[in-house]
């Protein structure tokens, strides 16, 4: 009688985790893929970002040398892909809000994989309804502070403005703005740390922290990174952050603030080499680890 062959299966989820490691009941973090790309005004394709990030994550080592941590041991649950609502961006924002609130209300770290930067608005709405002391750290090459863009208040170019209407927002990495956005910033509309491409350096961490409340949501547009390492974005802007700049800032914030959720947006994988998807997956991995293991009391509960 023939023996049964030894068969192995590769799970399709973030980090390619086993059913036990990705069990929602035990998971410290929930990864929510949102393949939404509707208001993009230059190069499209961020709808393919979540798929590319999850595929690349399966090749990451579970062990993180920097933190001496098996990241898989935290428990990371990956949801199905959230279907876009094609009635319009306002409806999509509402859909994202509903789903993020569902998971965040249980105290889990929610990691949203964009998609375009508009997805941030729904996620922050959910978090703001749960945490009275919420603020947002917003990493982006662009201001995203227009009141409206292309006849809609919900756009990748207005996301930070909508966030500011809900809670304080602190921008780092900005190196391209409109006159409207310049005037909004000058009037105190948003704490903004501009990025000097000629002499690139992070702002002093205490200068950033003084604008952030105890509870923080992090939003990362990948175009805040320099195109030399992240060309696969819809609107690449020369002269951006290095990997060390970005992870150094995020680690410092995580040490002194409670990060309850984050998003990584605007990966357009077909616009650059596969290394960009791998870098984006590694950033998600790092943010989950920083959020779950660093900083103040992780047992603090939400209003929900």
**pLDDT score of 208:** 97
**pLDDT score of 150:** 82
Domain hosting residue 129, numbered range: 14-293
Tell whether 53 is covered by a domain: yes
Higher-confidence residue of 108 and 3: namely 108
Q: In this predicted structure, which of 5-9, 44-48, 133-137, 209-213 has the lowest mean pLDDT?
A: 5-9
Say yes or no to pLDDT of 41 above 80: no
**pLDDT score of 299:** 43
Tell whether 304 is covered by a domain: no
The number of folded domains in the chain is 1
- pLDDT tens column, 157-213: 899 999 999 999 999 999 999 999 999 999 999 999 999 988 889 999 999 999 999
Say yes or no to pLDDT of 304 above 60: no
Tell whether 302 is covered by a domain: no
Average confidence score pLDDT of the chain: 93
Tell whether 89 is covered by a domain: yes
**pLDDT score of 1:** 54
Q: In this structure, what CATH number is given to the domain that contains residue 108?
A: 3.40.800.10
Tell whether 204 is covered by a domain: yes
- Please give the distance of CA 60 from its chain centroid, rounded to a whole number: 18
Does the reported pTM lie above 0.85?
A: yes
Higher-confidence residue of 193 and 86: namely 193
Tell whether 101 is covered by a domain: yes
Tell whether 5 is covered by a domain: no
Sheet of 134-139: strand order equals: 76-78, 29-34, 109-114, 258-265, 215-221, 134-139, 169-174, 191-194
Decide: helix, strand or coil at residue 298.
coil
Tell whether 75 is covered by a domain: yes
Tokens 């060309």 locate to 231
- CB-neighbour burial class of residue 8 (10 A; exposed 0-12, middle 13-18, buried 19+): exposed
């Amino acid at each position: 009688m023939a023996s049964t062959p030894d068969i192995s299966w590769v799970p399709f989820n973030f980090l390619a985790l086993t059913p036990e490691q990705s069990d929602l009941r035990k998971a410290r973090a929930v990864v929510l893929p949102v393949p939404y790309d509707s208001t993009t005004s230059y190069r499209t394709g961020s709808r393919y970002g979540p798929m590319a990030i999850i595929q690349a994550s399966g090749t990451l080592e579970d062990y993180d040398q920097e933190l001496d941590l098996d990241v898989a041991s935290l428990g990371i649950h990956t949801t199905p892909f959230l279907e876009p609502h094609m009635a319009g961006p306002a409806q999509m924002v509402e859909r994202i809000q509903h789903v993020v609130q569902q998971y965040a209300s249980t105290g889990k770290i929610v990691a949203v994989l964009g998609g375009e930067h508009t997805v941030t608005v729904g996620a922050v709405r959910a978090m703001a309804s749960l945490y009275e002391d919420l603020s947002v750290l917003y990493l982006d090459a662009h201001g995203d502070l227009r009141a409206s863009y292309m006849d809609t208040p919900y756009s990748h170019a207005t996301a930070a403005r909508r966030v500011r209407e809900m809670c304080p927002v602190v921008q780092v990495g900005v190196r391209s703005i409109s006159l409207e956005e310049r005037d909004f910033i000058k009037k105190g509309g948003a704490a903004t740390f501009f990025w000097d491409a000629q002499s690139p350096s992070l702002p002093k961490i205490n200068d950033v922290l003084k604008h952030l409340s105890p509870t923080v949501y992090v939003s990362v547009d990948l175009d805040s990174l320099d195109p030399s390492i992240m060309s696969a974005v819809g609107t690449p802007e020369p002269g951006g952050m290095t990997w060390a700049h970005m992870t150094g800032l995020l680690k410092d914030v995580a040490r002194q603030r409670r990060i309850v959720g984050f998003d990584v947006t605007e990966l357009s994988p077909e616009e650059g080499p596969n290394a960009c998807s791998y870098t984006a997956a590694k950033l998600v991995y790092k943010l989950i680890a920083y959020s779950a293991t660093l900083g103040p009391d992780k047992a603090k509960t939400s209003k929900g």
